[in-house]
Amino acid sequence: MSIYDSLNDMQQKAVYQTEGPLLILAGAGSGKTRVLTHRIAYLMEEKGVNPWNIMAITFTNKAAKEMRERVDQLIGYGSESVWVSTFHSTCVRILRRFIDRLGYDNNFTIYDTDDQKTVMKEVCKRLDVDTKIYKEKNLLGQISKAKNEMISAEEFYANSASDFRQRKVAEVYMEYEKRMRANNALDFDDLLLKTVQLLENDEQVLAYYQDRFLYIMVDEYQDTNTVQFKFVSLLARKNRNLCVVGDDDQSIYKFRGANIRNIWDFEKTYEEAVVIKLEQNYRSTQNILDAANSVIAKNTERKEKRLWTENGKGELIDFHHFDNGYEEAEYVAYDISKKVRKGQRRYKDCAILYRTNAQSRMFEERFIAENIPYKIVGGVNFYGRKEIKDILAYLKTIDNGRDDVAVKRIINVPKRGIGLASLSKVQDYADGRGIGFYDALKEAEEVPGLGRATAKITPFVTMIQKYRSKLGLVSLTDLLDEILEETGYVKELELEDTDEARARIENIDELISKLATYVEQEETPTLGEFLEEVALVADIDSLEEDSDYVVLMTLHSAKGLEFPNVYLAGMEDGLFPSFMTITSDDPMEIEEERRLCYVGITRAMEELHMSSARMRMVRGETQYNKISRFVREIPSDLFQHEIEKEKAKPEEKVGSYQVAKQAFRSKPMVGKQFTVTKAEKLSYVEGDKVNHRMFGIGQVLNITEGGRDYEVTVEFEKVGIKKMFASFAKLEKMS
């Protein structure tokens, strides 16, 4: 029996279609990884293609690892030569070899978000940018967006002549790039952008990789942005054997720069393209799929497909409409505990998915109270912890002395008594000489006015130079041990003797284990490659499938995962979809939110629970929201219970809201004080139509006069019922 006989008809068709452009529209849970791996096997075994002539690209390390393992199992000998990698890892491999042609050293450093923020702070300080007006995070966001659209700093500057604010952003972009180059560093956007620039500007390099990769496969194609599309199209331009796999119904990363038109317009870009749909689902029950199909069908722009399965109907969807968020969290905790207690589920079978990170708090509180083990995916990345970043900064400085961010991070870690004034003098000297910060440290004796600080800087430089001289002579694990011993980093934590310090030591131990594993697995381990490997780790890669805990994560983080028992929490208009989406003039905004809901539903394999709350505290404001329109787009016969009809006005009952309201009226406010000027009379009365600057048009349901202010209840057309204080709401009566 052939390995291809286990595939369904459409999967076989996708495997056998090897020549020319191919678009595989793969619905959720339809076995796309299985198709890709069998396609690689078919190319090698049946078509005689060399493994090194095949490239498979995906987005996450987790997906790349899974694909690599499956290819190895299918093919065995020779499979290690197939290039299976993420976009970023692929680009790093190319740049490590050829980036010197763009004027960089090949041992460049990869900056994470924190490193970028450090550079941006220096840029804003140097350019005297008012960070109250131009937020550093927003500046980095605009630069990232420009890079994803392949707009260089020079082009950005040239296009900003008529806009004062954009000209300021352009100046920041120019200085940011200048400092990144001086530090011999690249951010994550650069990895793709510089690779495309290399391929566009160097015909020799482009020809080398076009001849190397005769067959190219791209997973999750709906998530590609402009620069990723350009990268793939350049590599495939000569041979045109490009197979892309994706699902436009799961395109949810517009905020990261993903361009859904890449998959929508594939047949326009490649007119000879073949399109194959994978609609048979192997993950979920038919009831879950029917719910997903009914929701996504409401989108007007999509490539038509409908998921089906042979798994059977399964259980109906469990929906609960609670009074508040506390009851919602209480029920979920109770339901999980009951299922585990009865042996029906393990903790790791359960996942709670929500629209915003803030929603995790109530679940955490309940899980702690109920002693339920849990993990939040998307919290602090292991490599983002202070102690890990400190140790990695030592390694980065040893590997690449031009990395000013790393050098400045550790110059006083542990404390060496080198003051800010001294460091400022070193920086001024470096700027004046046109050299890097570390090179200026090496010339400390020449820095004007440095004085006694020279004696503190010299031992630091000597230590770094000593470790540099040992590269290639001692093992990387021995090198790290020496650094920890000489700096006394761990000893300082031991002297603190606190739970936090002990946790930090455990993290350092984990880093040592990570380095040891890397050294064991690589034939010729290098410090640069190790730093590259840890720089490309994403949050989702920290999800340990063998550990028994409930997973809490946002819907965006859940893509690509599956769980037997899923809870979709906060299914309310105003929260999911968000009120910003509901009030947007762009209909495509609500369509992306609907795709996000589709992704959430299709994470469930056997059980799907959905919940909402009549009343929820958001940013300190009590909100009454309607049940999410996405819930109401699911046919009623798919639910275990009939969904109640919305009430025009919420029932007044004693609860957490009433307690909070009474506290507001009777107790003095603590903490941040607000000056409230109570109006003698409001310009509107109950029943009037009013306008709110954020929520839009609504009708006043109730006005209650308190000692400090008027409390106004309004039912808005787009975001539901809100309770607010008149002084803050600033409602305008509609004529």
CB count within 10 Å of CB 694 equals 11
Distance CA 426, CA 405 (A): 14
220 is catalytic: yes
Give the distance from CA 551 to its chain's centroid.
Answer: 16
Q: Which of 32, 302, 425, 614 is flagged as catalytic?
A: 32
Distance CA 324, CA 304 (A): 38
Q: Which of 37, 58, 224, 250 is flagged as catalytic?
A: 250
Q: Which of 11, 12, 33, 60 is flagged as catalytic?
A: 33
CB count within 10 Å of CB 334 equals 12
Q: Which of 147, 277, 595, 603 is flagged as catalytic?
A: 603
* CB-based contact 241:216 (threshold 8 Å): yes
SS3 510: helix
330 is catalytic: no
Sort residue 6 into left (φ over 0), alpha (ψ -120 to 50) or beta. Answer: alpha
Tokens of 223: 């998530």
166 is catalytic: no
Distance CA 117, CA 136 (A): 7
90-96 long-range contacts, CB within 8 A, separation 24+: 90/55, 90/57, 91/191, 91/192, 91/194, 91/195, 91/231, 92/191, 92/532, 92/536, 94/195, 94/198, 94/205, 94/209, 95/186, 95/191, 95/194, 95/195, 95/198, 96/528, 96/532
Buried b (16+ CB within 10 A) or exposed e, 120-154: bebbbeeeebeeeebebeebbebbbebbbebbebe
Distance CA 329, CA 373 (A): 15
Give the distance from CA 387 to its chain's centroid.
Answer: 22
651 is catalytic: no
37 is catalytic: no
250 is catalytic: yes
Distance CA 206, CA 264 (A): 27
Q: Which of 112, 187, 189, 219 is flagged as catalytic?
A: 219
Q: Which of 112, 220, 330, 539 is flagged as catalytic?
A: 220
Which amino acids are annotated catalytic? 32-33, 219-220, 250, 603
